[in-house]
Amino acid sequence: MSDWLPETPRTLAFPTAAYVTLAGADWLASASPHPDEMHTLWATRPAAPSVLPCGTAFDVINAPALFGRRMVDRLWSDGPGSGPVAAHRGRILLFAAPGTAQRLPALLVWEEWATAVPPLLCHGSGDAVTVPPLHPRQSPAVDRTAGAGAPADEDPAAPSVSRWLVAPDVRNPWLPGPDVLLWACVRAARSMTGPVHEAAAQHPVSMLTAG
């Protein structure tokens, strides 16, 4: 397994953008074969979620709310940070580099962590995902006590909620690859209590450093 450090973004400061910027919208639209139509859709229905294909601009790792939140927390508290992250219908969507959806499950099996991690839905080439509106109906509250490495203290499992937790705000955002997300899965699994933690403890990963 290759080291993820060369992929590290330039800054670990937690992003402050609560909504998608024009540059971020351009990046999202680039996933569609018809970017102009996506911009028209967003202009006419700014508060509605939209569907975008995966596999070209990004892949998406779709995790259960609690585990996905722990992955994001680990990515930001321990580095190297995350790409855009959304909450949709009680799930956490981590936007990742193209190809991640195919490689991550194989890495989890190879490193013997597949049984220690809750089932992940990996969306890649040929798949599509629902993304939140570009602008939230309300600005999300920020948890000032959580520190610079923690997202706002929200309930990602709230029903019928689709919103950005880390909104894309540049034309070419940094996206984690499969090695980075494997590391995040391992850290998140180790932080869990109960059966997941016990299973994880039985499968140390020699090529990853425990926190």
45-82 tens-digit pLDDT: 988 899 999 999 999 999 999 999 999 999 999 889 99
pLDDT at 196 over 60: no
pLDDT at 10 over 70: no
Beta-ladder partners of 130: 51
Provide the CA 118 distance to its chain's centre, in angstroms: 15
pLDDT at 144 over 90: no
- The arithmetic mean of pLDDT across residues 146-169, rounded, is 61
pLDDT at 108 over 60: yes
6 DSSP assignment:
G
- The arithmetic mean of pLDDT across residues 166-182, rounded, is 96
- The arithmetic mean of pLDDT across residues 125-130, rounded, is 97
Please give the residue that has the higher pLDDT: either 31 or 161. Answer: 31
Confidence of residue 111 (pLDDT cuts 50, 70, 90): confident
C-alpha distance from residue 94 to each of 43, 55, 97 (Å): 25, 14, 10
pLDDT at 43 over 50: yes
Confidence of residue 156 (pLDDT cuts 50, 70, 90): very low
Return the beta strands (E) in the chain as ranges. 50-53, 59-64, 85-88, 91-96, 121-123, 128-131, 162-166
C-alpha to C-alpha distance for 72 and 174, rounded to whole angstroms: 14
